[in-house]
């Protein structure tokens, strides 16, 4: 039987957006991630950074209204390669401090010694946004950034149906932390959902990756 992960790295990205859907031209403008200890229920570490977009640097009014991120705020931030490297540095630090071993792209279930994986609501964060931005900036992402758990699949396996993030929260009576469409607040809210699912018996052991979603 596959063992369960002891930690989950909940993450959420916010990206540039427009009223007309154009996800291929979207750029990450906010990283939010945290290390959730499934045994204690505590958040042991967090990462939060904004990113200055380079391809389409002027935020749309729709994006500003949705995310609360202003042009003044975003203009003062580092660009994607710098923030990506900060993110990797944070990941390497928590791996060292907490003795973490991350699931890799060929890890379909946990094996001995692997005790953590990324988790996001749907496949878009690592499967789409990070992938596109890394390609745009000529970055070959770390292999472990190509592997994650889709929390929506876990939720819908536990509670059959089709849900938006907010609908899923309402179904299990969890309140949004902070502001919706804030990457760090959504990551914190996702952590509450993950913990609720884990404690109710949901299995967090299967991962997907760039080739399998």
Rounded CA separation 40/34 (Å) = 14
* Strand intervals (E) in 16-126: 28-37, 43-50, 116-120
Residues serving a catalytic function are 14, 181
Q: Kindly list the distances between the CA atom of residue 169 and the CA atoms of 12, 180, 192, in Å, as whole numbers in the listed order.
A: 16, 12, 9
Buried (b) or exposed (e) across 73-105, using 16+ Cβ within 10 A?
ebeebeebeebbeebeebbeebeeeeebbbbbb
Burial class (CB in 10 A: 0-12, 13-18, 19+), 153: middle
Spatial neighbors of 204 by CB under 8 A, at least 6 apart, are 4, 5, 8, 38, 117, 119, 149, 154, 194, 197, 198
- Is residue 181 within 8 A of residue 85, CB to CB? The reply is no
């Amino acid at each position: 039987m596959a063992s369960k992960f002891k930690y989950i790295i909940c993450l959420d990205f916010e990206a540039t957006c427009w009223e007309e859907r154009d996800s291929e031209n979207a750029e990450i403008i906010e990283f939010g991630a945290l290390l959730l200890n499934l045994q204690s229920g505590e958040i042991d570490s967090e990462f939060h950074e904004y990113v200055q977009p380079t391809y389409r640097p002027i935020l749309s009014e729709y994006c500003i209204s949705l995310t609360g991120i202003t042009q003044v705020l975003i203009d003062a931030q580092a660009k994607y390669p710098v923030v990506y490297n900060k993110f990797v540095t944070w990941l390497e630090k928590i791996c060292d401090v907490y003795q973490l071993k991350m699931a890799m792209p060929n890890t379909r279930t946990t094996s001995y010694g692997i005790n953590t994986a990324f988790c996001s609501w749907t496949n878009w964060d690592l499967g789409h946004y990070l992938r596109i931005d890394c390609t745009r900036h000529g970055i070959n992402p770390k292999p472990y950034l190509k592997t994650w758990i889709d929390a929506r699949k876990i939720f819908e396996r536990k509670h059959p149906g089709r849900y938006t993030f907010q609908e899923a929260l309402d179904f299990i009576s969890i309140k949004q932390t902070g502001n919706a469409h804030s990457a760090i607040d959504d990551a914190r809210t996702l952590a509450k959902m993950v913990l609720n699912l884990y404690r109710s018996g949901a299995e967090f052991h299967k991962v997907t990756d760039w080739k399998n979603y």
